[in-house]
Amino acid sequence: MSQLAPPLQAILDAELAAGNSISDISNWPPKCELLLSLRYKFKQAHLPDANVSYRIIDDIHYWYAEYDFNDGQQIVTCGFA
């Protein structure tokens, strides 16, 4: 599995420090080589990065929101709690 891109790693580190936890790590073919899911909603807003976009998905079949790196190459998602 690929290493998390630095801007997403910074988001993950901040979320873990704020009390969030990882619920799943996988991939989502064909494009997403690393999909990391957090158990709770993002605990804070994260500064934008040129290669990272933020979207609210709000679909119970998927997740509440995501930070997407490089147009879907890697994604950090958050749950609904």
Tell me the per-residue pLDDT of 1-51, one tens digit each, with 9 for 90 and over: 469 999 999 999 999 999 999 999 999 999 999 999 999 999 999 988 999
pTM: 0.94
Number of domains in the chain: 1
Are residues 27 and 34 in contact, defined by beta-carbon separation less than 8 angstroms? yes
Give residue 17's domain range. 6-78
24-59 as b/e: b if 16+ CB within 10 A: eeeeeeeeebbbbbbebebeeebeebeebeeeeeee
Question: Is position 34 within any domain?
Answer: yes
Tell me the per-residue pLDDT of 60-80, one tens digit each, with 9 for 90 and over: 999 999 999 999 999 999 999
Question: Is position 55 within any domain?
Answer: yes
Neighbouring CB atoms inside 10 A of 5's CB total: 19
Question: Is position 56 within any domain?
Answer: yes
Question: Is position 1 within any domain?
Answer: no
Question: Is position 12 within any domain?
Answer: yes
Among 26, 39, 17, 21, CA closest to 74: 26
